[in-house]
Structure 1
Amino acid sequence: MRIFKQYQPLLIAKYVKTFFSGRLYIRGRGAFWYAKGMLVMPAHADERHRTTVQEINRLIGQLHMPADAAS
């Protein structure tokens, strides 16, 4: 389990994309699971978890795009 001391969305997105499945904890945000290179929405997610998962997964999707298609 990786523990992030600060919420840095791009760093977390790169980590999730690289390691593909596992668990992580973000101080101030809580614990998260990721599988298939994307964060998984918890069954009983509060608003903070929901927005975090959506933001990280959006960044992961942008990392998959070629540089010319991203702009």
Structure 2
Amino acid sequence: MQTMRVFKKYLPLMVAKHVKTFFKGRIYIHGRGRFDFQSGLLLMPSSADVPHRQTVTEVNALIGRLHMDLV
């Protein structure tokens, strides 16, 4: 059974580091909703609203930048 990490505030860099580190799972961000992630990236829900889309896009972009910093 997977545990869900809860973020009380939306801090994109902290979320990106968590997703990148744990690679697969589920998170909840107060005020933003529930997100699943796999392969180190947030997944876009099929019925995503605007805040969900913005969050997924922003966090995945930060994850990409974190990967670039390691190279």
TM-score, normalised with respect to structure 1:
0.92
Structure 1: any 5+ residue segments left out of the alignment? none
Structure 2: any 5+ residue segments left out of the alignment? none
Q: Is the radius of gyration larger for structure 1 or structure 2?
A: 1
Deviation beyond 3 Å, 4+ runs, structure 1: none
Root mean square deviation of aligned Cα: 1.2
In structure 2, the residue matched to 1:37 is 40
TM-score, normalised with respect to structure 2:
0.92
Between the aligned residues of both structures, percent identity stands at 59
Q: For residue 66 of structure 1, report the CA deviation from its aligned partner.
A: 3.1
* 1:54 aligns to 2:42 (yes or no): no
Deviations 1:15-69 (A, max 9, x none): 00000000000000000000000000000000000000000000000000036x8
Distance in 2, matches of 1:36 and 1:56, equals: 14
Q: For residue 11 of structure 1, report the CA deviation from its aligned partner.
A: 0.4
Report the number of matched residues.
Answer: 68
